Amino acid sequence: MTRWIILVLLAAYTFYNLGPILWLLISSFKGRADLFAMPPVWVFDINTSGYESVFGVGAAAGTASAYGVVDALINSVIVSTSGTVLAVFLGTLAGYVCSRYDFRGKGDFLFFVLSTRMLPPVAVLVFYHLMFARLGLADTRIGLVLVAIFANVGLATWIMKGFFDGVPKEVEQIAQVSGYSRMYAFIHLVLPMVRGGIAATAGFCFIFAWNEFAFASILTTTKAKTLPVKISAASGATGIEWTQIMSAGVVLIIPVLIFFYLIRKHLLMGMTFGVLGRS
């Protein structure tokens, strides 16, 4: 009996979870008329105009709206990849030092780093808005990369510290006894051991950087717009461009989905290490 209740509840949750995803996928292939059909249609002519405008090909090639979306896609790729790489790089260095050394103010440093996760974006945005304009960073990719680093380096430090905690300290001790420097041990022995952790951290940072909206929406105006911002602009004066929004949503989730599936094992480990390491 309890078994059946559990199964029904699980089925209900799966429907709630996957239904909207399925609906997003279906709607992204619908033309204008089918999108608003009531009752909703299940059989319809496949219409790829939304995807065409996202990639700027086919009928949408060269049109004003398509131009902006392709640009935004390129911006998104550049900003989130370089932001992720840099945040993971810095987080790895900081995480290693915090895992291996005791130094004054370590606890304060770790809390300060973590507090970036607690900061409401709009709070710092009031200031960034002015500072970026003054420094000439407004509406530039570099500015957004800086934001991506700051927003993710805290998480990266914490997760990486967890992974380094899992590597026995004997590794460096043996290396030092054998006459290698600490730096050599770090690069050639410890780093390869936490490859999975780096992948997991990169996965998390990429998801956040790729989907980031609040900062990008206020700090960009034309040139550096990312795809999430461009999507929100698709709800402009001419009404909401639903097909384009749905297609862009599908395009946005694909790289994350592939990434997530590849790193799923490390991801679980990263989460437990990252949080269990402290408790």
Window 171-200: residues binding other proteins (CB under 8 A):
173, 176, 181-183
Q: Does 27 bind other proteins (CB under 8 A)?
A: yes
Region binding other proteins by CB under 8 A among candidate stretches 44-52, 53-61, 169-177, 187-195? 169-177
Least distance (Å) between residue 220 CB and other proteins: 13
Nearer to other proteins, 66 or 204 (CB): 204
Contacts of 270 (CB under 8 A, 6+ apart): 159, 162, 163, 196, 197, 200, 201, 204
Alpha carbons 237 and 275: distance in angstroms, whole number: 46
Residue 90 contacts other proteins per CB under 8 A: yes
The interface with other proteins within residues 234-253 (CB under 8 A) comprises 235, 240, 242, 245-246, 248-249, 252-253
Select from 8, 59, 130, 142 the one that contacts other proteins (CB under 8 A).
130
DSSP 90-111: HHHHHHHHHHH---TTHHHHHH
Q: Near other proteins by CB under 8 A, which window of 55-63, 65-73, 104-112, 190-198?
A: 104-112
Rounded to a whole number, what is the distance in angstroms from the first to the last CA of the chain? Answer: 37
Buried b / exposed e over 162-175, threshold 16 CB at 10 Å, is bbbbbbeeeebeeb
Considering only residues 50-89, where is the footprint of other proteins by CB under 8 A?
none
# chain residues binding other proteins, by CB under 8 A? 105
**Cβ atoms of 111 and 278 closer than 8 Å:** no
Looking at residue 179, its amino acid is G
